[in-house]
Amino acid sequence: MVEVREVWKAFGPRAVLRGISFTAEAGGAVGLIGPNGAGKTTLLRLIAGVERPDRGVVRVEGRPVGAFRRRELARRLAVLSQEAFTPFPFSVYDTVMMGRHPYLRPLRGITPRDREIVERVLAEVGLAEVASERVDRLSGGQRQLVALARTMAQEPRVLLLDEPTTFLDLGHQVRVLDLVRRWQRERGLAVVMVLHDLNLAALYCDRLVLIHGGRVAASGRAAEVLTPEVLESVYGTRPVLVPHPVRGVPQLFVQPDQLPEDRNETPRRVRSAGRE
């Protein structure tokens, strides 16, 4: 569904991406992880077609992204990022309706089908009650749900998420990601998400691509990518990994530096996260 092949990108003299390749299949979620400045967001923007790769190609449904007209692309691919809000007092309903923009024809207004989709999406994310509220009066978590609803109103086949949970409280983090995963499964969505939180990445992504210095440092299932060795080589700190008590995927704990006064605490022996 999404194919990234040997993509290079530089801003001036600074090479951000140096030959990245991966694919995201329909119904699956790929997590892009890596340290700050690794080029994850740039990569996402290349897939979304708002940046052009210097070399290599990004294909959506087998066609290079650059070959789509924006409207065509927007009917296939949606992006959820942080801070995608207007400074103006649009209502929740109107904001979600903006997701129908790629389908609207000039002169022909909103159709009953558009309304139907928007109302359904609002119900699914649980915002039907506040549909006529002003977006700027909602909480940060609810606003992110509005943004998610908008991307869903686009009826995309590919969904890109750029750190969708940053600044959200725990409940909303889980809500947003659960909704994404439900849609991904039910509608065969190909999901590519940039996540800062490696634990959430392990839980919600079928495959992880660890990017470091503009290259793919590791990729595969969570258990293959999230190992103390790989993480130390990329992040410069050696975390402790344990399997999630319910889902079994690796979850990570950072380990603070041992200071002399910490000596009297008996360090607990922890099993390194094993293969499932």
- 57: helix, coil or strand? strand
Q: Minimum CB separation from other proteins for residue 139, in Å? A: 14
Q: Minimum CB separation from other proteins for residue 105, in Å? A: 10
What are the distances in angstroms from CA 196 to CA 85, 162, 167, 193, 225?
Answer: 21, 9, 11, 10, 15
Q: Minimum CB separation from other proteins for residue 69, in Å? A: 8
Closer residue to other proteins, CB minimum distance, 107 or 170: 107
Question: Is position 106 an interface residue for other proteins (rule: CB under 8 A)?
Answer: yes
The 3-state DSSP composition of the chain as helix, strand, coil percent (nearest 5) reads: 40, 25, 35
Among 10, 26, 57, 104, binds other proteins (CB under 8 A): 104
Helices (H) and strands (E) in the chain, counts: 9, 12
Distance (Å, whole) CA 99 – CA 102: 7
Closer residue to other proteins, CB minimum distance, 80 or 249: 80
**Count of residues in the chain:** 276
Q: Minimum CB separation from other proteins for residue 189, in Å? A: 15
Question: Is position 146 an interface residue for other proteins (rule: CB under 8 A)?
Answer: no
- 78: helix, coil or strand? strand
Closer residue to other proteins, CB minimum distance, 59 or 221: 59
- Taking Cα atoms as reference points, which of 61, 62, 64 lies closest to residue 52? 64
Question: Is position 154 an interface residue for other proteins (rule: CB under 8 A)?
Answer: yes
Question: Is position 101 an interface residue for other proteins (rule: CB under 8 A)?
Answer: yes
Angle at 224 between CA 18 and CA 270, to 5 degrees: 125
Question: Is position 233 an interface residue for other proteins (rule: CB under 8 A)?
Answer: no
Distance (Å, whole) CA 191 – CA 184: 7
- Taking Cα atoms as reference points, which of 240, 187, 231, 198 lies closest to residue 32? 198
Question: Is position 45 an interface residue for other proteins (rule: CB under 8 A)?
Answer: yes
Question: Is position 240 an interface residue for other proteins (rule: CB under 8 A)?
Answer: no
Closer residue to other proteins, CB minimum distance, 81 or 184: 81
Q: Are 50 and 162 in contact (CB under 8 A)?
A: no
Q: Minimum CB separation from other proteins for residue 227, in Å? A: 34
Using CB under 8 A, which residues numbered 78 to 97 contact other proteins? 78-79, 81, 83-91, 94-95
Show Cβ contacts of residue 13 under 8 Å, excluding neighbours closer than 6 positions.
Answer: none
Among 46, 77, 195, 234, binds other proteins (CB under 8 A): 77
Question: Is position 164 an interface residue for other proteins (rule: CB under 8 A)?
Answer: no
Among 52, 71, 115, 238, binds other proteins (CB under 8 A): 71
**Residue 3: which H helix or E strand, with range?**
strand 2-11
Residues that bind other proteins (CB under 8 A): 45, 48-50, 69-75, 77-79, 81, 83-91, 94-95, 98-99, 101-102, 104, 106, 132, 154
